[in-house]
Amino acid sequence: MVNYYADNTRQHLRVWLKLLKTSSNVEAMLRERLRRECGTTLPRFDVMAALDHHPDGLRMSQLSRFLKVSNGNTTGIVNRLVEDGMIERAQDSLDRRAQKVCLTPNGKKEFEHLAQLHAQWIDDIMTPLSTEHSATLISLLEKLTKFGVTQP
């Protein structure tokens, strides 16, 4: 049984809650800025980012797995991005029954603009951290990753 009053357990809980709160706050700030300044959403940005990382395109199931969301969530976003001319569907050359989606030239241009803004916003948010602080935080979080924390 976990002793909720042990010093290390209490400290670990505080770390977890601080990570969660900080992550949620940063995500909320990004969502608001994307909406207000760009007229888009974080899920749209995430789909475009995934496709930017996979220039040959992804099947819908691959895209959903990459984003860690359901196929239903992905389909709605993809449909709207297709309507807006940001992405296109094409038959998968390896499996004619499957379709791949990829960024259009307009989508690539729009994503480059959004990615530049996103990077600047993240930089602004992280301003309180020095280069050394950032390196230390990355190192500490990698310890959790190596321990298997990021695995589902």
What string of pLDDT tens digits covers the 152 residues of the chain?
666 667 788 888 999 999 999 999 999 999 999 999 999 999 999 999 999 999 999 999 899 999 999 888 899 999 999 999 999 998 877 777 888 999 999 999 999 999 999 999 999 999 999 999 999 999 999 988 887 665 54
115 shares a domain with 68: yes
**What's residue 43's pLDDT?**
95
Looking at the structure, tell me whether residues 9 and 33 fall in a common domain: yes
Residue 4's pLDDT is: 63
Q: Are 62 and 94 within 8 A, CB to CB?
A: no
pLDDT of residue 94: 78
Question: Does residue 126 form part of some domain?
Answer: no
**pTM listed for this prediction:** 0.85
Give the Cα separation of 34 and 102 in Å (integer): 21
Is 128 within a domain?
no
Closest by CA position to 87, among listed 38, 47, 53: 47
Range of the domain at 112: 42-121
The answer to whether the CB of 54 falls within 8 A of the CB of 100 is: no
4 lies in the same domain as 65: no
